[in-house]
Amino acid sequence: MTLQADTTTPGADERLVQVGVVRGIFRRVEIGALIGAVAVWLLFAAVAPGNWLSVTGVARILDPASTLGIMAIAVALLMIGGEFDLSTGVMTGSAGLVAGLLSTRMGWNLWPAMGAALIFALAVGYLNGMMVTRTGLPSFIVTLATFFALRGANVGVTRLVTEQVYVGGIDKTEGFELARLVFNTGIDVFGIEFRSSIIWWVVIAVIASWVLLRTKYGSWIFATGGDANAARNVGVPATRVKITLFMTTAAAAWLVGMMNIVRLRSAVASQGIGQEFIYIIAATIGGCLLTGGYGSVIGASIGAIIFGMAQVGIVFAGWDTDWFYSFLGVMLLAAVLVNKYTRQRAQEISLAAAKARTEG
């Protein structure tokens, strides 16, 4: 008996190492996004090497990627938790308008105005979460309704108050300079201007990834999206998790809304419309499953970088920018296919290992 055990053990250990390395690579949630990012980078490096490989090029890419990345991270968390939010894009506009109107028309200091906008955003996020968890309706429908309601209100209220479709003069309000410094300023690095929103993005990515992978709340998010009933059976407060995630996406939209208004010095009623799909695309390229329970914050950030590269690269290459969205569509499909393939590979390897274990 003991002899037999001794002879089989070393062989088994070798197999473990072999399987471990291959599976380790394939099992990275972000692998699809990473392959995509490298492919897009190489493409533009070949087509427009001069601009692409400069520091200016990097700064230009990271500019749109940063605000998109912040949203993609929050949306990825929500998708892992098993829900959608289509009101995120228009919410960036709503938050900006609330802060803009209160500060320019009511004479508020910009900071309490931004505070009120945050409360408004959190309330809408809470409402989304309550409606989804109470009614059991698909979040796709519930937040689609929120999207249209906010879209209408953005234009309606703005026109009612200002008789225009934008709120200007935010730079003349009290507290603007500090707000600009905090939310969106240019930082000089080697004579090139990088946006401070990049710092926000990196910090948020690190915190969100830590919460997702290194705290119990992360496990709860995965479990809620994976099987909410099973999660409830072992004591995970799945409803609270979902509502918190809706409030998180709303808070992220508020942050991006503030970044937009201090940069543009005005709030536009049509701000953010259509962006919600870009956020979902970035999260999906980053490895999130539409069915929930699977995904990555880092992947979503890489998805945002791909978006930034495509947006800037098309200009650098001198291509017609009309084709940008077509490019994004092809990119989405390719990334999802790669994700599907790698996930299947990882599972096949796991299954093969399990089989080897029971038979060996």
Partner 1 sequence: MAQTQPQLEVRNISKMFGSVIALSNVSAAFYAGEVTCLLGDNGAGKSTLIKILSGVYQPTEGDYIFEGRKVLLNSPREALAMGIATVYQDLSLIPLMSVWRNFFLGSEPEKRWGPFKSYDIALARRVVRDELKKMGIVVRDTDQPVGTMSGGERQSIAISRAIYFGAKVLILDEPTAALGVKQAGMVLHYIVQAKRRGLAVIFITHNPNHAWPVGDHFIILRRGRVLGDYRKDEITQADLMNLMAGGEDLLKLQEELAMLQEQPLEMATEV
Where along the sequence are the contacts to partner 1 (CB under 8 A)?
12, 16, 19-20, 23, 27, 210, 214-216, 218-220, 222-223, 226-227, 230-231, 233-236, 293-294, 347, 350-351, 353-354, 357-358
Q: Which is nearer to partner 1, 172 or 357 (CB)?
A: 357
Q: Which is nearer to partner 1, 225 or 313 (CB)?
A: 225
- Give SS3 for 290: coil
Shortest Å, Cβ 346 to partner 1: 8
Closest approach, Cβ 135 to partner 1, in A, equals 24
**Residue 109 per-residue DSSP state:** -
Shortest CB 24 distance to partner 1, Å: 9
Which residue's CB is nearer to partner 1, number 54 or number 215? Answer: 215
Q: Which is nearer to partner 1, 135 or 347 (CB)?
A: 347
Residue 299 corresponds to which tokens in the numbers above? 């992947």
State which residue, 11 or 49, has the beta carbon closest to partner 1.
Answer: 11
Closer to partner 1 by Cβ: residue 20 or 156: 20
Cα 349–350–356 angle (5° rounding)?
A: 90
Minimal distance, residue 351 CB to partner 1, in Å: 5
Q: Shortest Cβ distance from residue 186 to partner 1 (Å)?
A: 32
Task: Tell me if residue 186 falls in helix, strand or coil.
Answer: strand
Nearest to 335, CA basis, from 356, 305, 357: 305
Minimum CB distance to partner 1 smaller for 164 or for 233: 233
Whole-number Å distance between alpha carbons of 285 and 299: 7
At closest approach, how far in Å is the CB of 209 from partner 1? 12
Q: For residues 194 and 187, is the Cβ–Cβ distance under 8 A?
A: yes
Of residues 1 and 234, the one with the C-beta less far from partner 1: 234
For residue 229, with 0-12 CB atoms within 10 Å meaning exposed, 13-18 middle and 19 or more buried, which class applies?
Answer: exposed
Give how far the C-alpha of residue 207 lies from the chain's centroid of Cα atoms, to the nearest Å: 13
* Angle, helices 176-183/110-135, rounded to nearest 10 degrees: 50
Residues 6+ apart with CB under 8 A from 3: none
Q: Min. distance of Cβ 348 from partner 1 in angstroms?
A: 9
Query: In this structure, what token pair is assigned to residue 169?
Result: 């003069």
CB of 236 to partner 1, least distance (A): 5
Residue 234 three-state SS: coil
Give how far the C-alpha of residue 44 lies from the chain's centroid of Cα atoms, to the nearest Å: 24
Cα-based torsion angle of the residue sequence 79, 82, 84, 85 in order, rounded to the nearest 10 degrees: -80
What is the smallest separation between the CB atom of 53 and partner 1, expressed in angstroms?
A: 38
Cβ closest to partner 1, residue 38 vs residue 354 = 354
* Distance, CA of 287 to CA of 33 (rounded, Å): 7
Give strand pairing partners of 194: 187
d(CA 65, CA 74): 14
